[in-house]
Amino acid sequence: MEAPNILREDLPFPLGVLRASVLERNLTRFQQFSEAAGVLLCPHAKTTMAPALFRRQLAAGSWGLTFANGAQVRAARAHGVPRIFYANELVGAADIRFVAAELRRDPEFEFYCLADSVAGVRLLAERIAALGPEGPGRPVSVLVEGGLAGARCGVRDVATAVEVAEAIRAAAPHLALAGVEGFEGLARARDGGDREVIVREFLAFLAAIATALDERDLFDRPEVLLTAGGSALFDLVIDVLTRTRLSRPTQVMLRSGCYLSEDWGLYRRALADLHQRTGSAAPDLEPALEVWAQVLSVPEPGLLILSAGRRDFGQDAGNPIALTHVRRGADERRSLLDAGWTMAAASDQHAHMAVPPDHGAAVGDLVALGPSHPCTTFDKWRTLYLVDDDYTVTEEVPTFF
């Protein structure tokens, strides 16, 4: 059977679409950039939860993949991910049972998780100990998480970090201290200050934690893992963390997840900032993710109703923008980037587009939307479609959210 084509209406709308050529370029460019910077890449895979993309990332050279809850770890293991960075505190009894069983079952499986409190470390160690012969059979690698005041998890000061690391040491042989972690993406400029300054301060705090733990000889691995880095500020992470010197070798790891698909909002702006900060030394990344919908109604002269809504794209970083218009039955793709189409509102299944009087669209036409944030758009789809530059489907991409 001929491969389905989006523009020919072979599939029902709305559709979540990934442009294969763009994705491949982003994959290669970000991997090359990481290698040139001498850092490991362990992309946050909660963004896509798509094994077809996991495989591409690992094949391209990713050190491992990052996940953030137990359901994600189960999906990753079910699809053969060999090295998991769990960018979260490991607390739940069912999750600890699962991770322990996987570590015992598969000697090749590597797993790292975070801790930010003595209570959390003791609970984790106690729960592992209680598993007895059902335990992991080897120490679980734990990183101390550093956090920002008023933000999320993570110790707020070096003294607490030392207490947490000492608790990890005391929990041997169940736990082993592997490094220091933080997420600089939560740093917000306060009182009109400069965000870069706050982020650098936070990264210096992570380095200070690493130094304090190193001075007390609390690390349990030959190399110390230092990791931060979402998709917006990784240049600063590389700059600060690769300059951190300890008594033993360090390895800096980025966890950027959105480089693969990029977007038309949040990370597009972040990328522009990155290029400005680095004098274009940051990789060129392009948006690969589109949501295709159909014009259902033109109920008023300046209003189009499309067949995609908040069940189909995220709005947490702003509404999607209008990218492309294809007249029903036609091949020609018209760019809408400067056409003055804006999304006025969205309901569950509909987007309400405010359009100029000469919009030229009719019922049955196709419209591509560019989401503002991949994380909250990927998770709307059980299957996305990888397409070539003519929008013929080259692969179905199931997700496991």
- Contact criterion met (CB below 8 Å) for 225 and 143: yes
Cβ contacts of 239 within 8 Å, gap of 6 or more: none
- CB nearer a second copy, residue 201 or residue 300: 300
Angle between helices 93-105 and 118-130 (to 10 degrees): 60
Distance CA 109, CA 125 (A): 19
Task: Kindly state whether residue 119 participates in binding a second copy, applying the rule CB under 8 A.
Answer: yes
192 binds a second copy (CB under 8 A): no
Q: Residue 142 and residue 113: Cα distance in Å, rounded? A: 5
Terminal C-alpha separation, the chain = 30
Distance, CA of 216 to CA of 102 (rounded, Å): 32
* Least distance CB 205 / a second copy (angstroms): 14
CB 129 within 8 A of CB 174: yes
- The region of 23-31, 64-72, 241-249, 332-340 touching a second copy under the rule CB under 8 A is 64-72
Does the protein bind a second copy through residue 190 (CB under 8 A)? no
DSSP state of 367: E
Q: Is residue 375 a contact point for a second copy (CB under 8 A)? A: yes
147 binds a second copy (CB under 8 A): yes
Stretch that binds a second copy, among 8-16, 226-234, 238-246, 388-396 (CB under 8 A): 8-16
182 lies in the site for a second copy, by CB under 8 A: no
User: Stretches 66-74, 128-136, 164-172, 235-243: which one binds a second copy (CB under 8 A)?
Assistant: 66-74
Instruction: Give the 3-state secondary structure percentages of the chain, helix then strand then coil, rounded to 5.
Output: 30, 25, 45
Q: Does 125 bind a second copy (CB under 8 A)?
A: no
Q: Are strands 224-228 and 250-254 parallel, antiparallel or unpaired?
A: parallel
CB of 33 or CB of 86, closer to a second copy: 86
If binding means CB under 8 A, how many residues of this protein chain bind a second copy? 63
- The two tokens of residue 74 are 């189960």
* Tokens encoding 118: 């003595």
Q: Kindly write out the interface string for residues 215-254 of this chain, putting x where it contacts a second copy by CB under 8 A and - elsewhere.
A: ----------------------------------------
Beta bridge partners of 398: 383
Shortest reach from residue 124's CB to a second copy, in Å: 9
Residues near a second copy (CB under 8 A) = 9-14, 46, 68-71, 74, 88-89, 91-95, 98, 116-117, 119-120, 123, 147, 149-156, 186, 294-300, 303, 305, 307, 310-311, 316, 328, 347-350, 352, 362-364, 375-376, 379-380, 382, 401
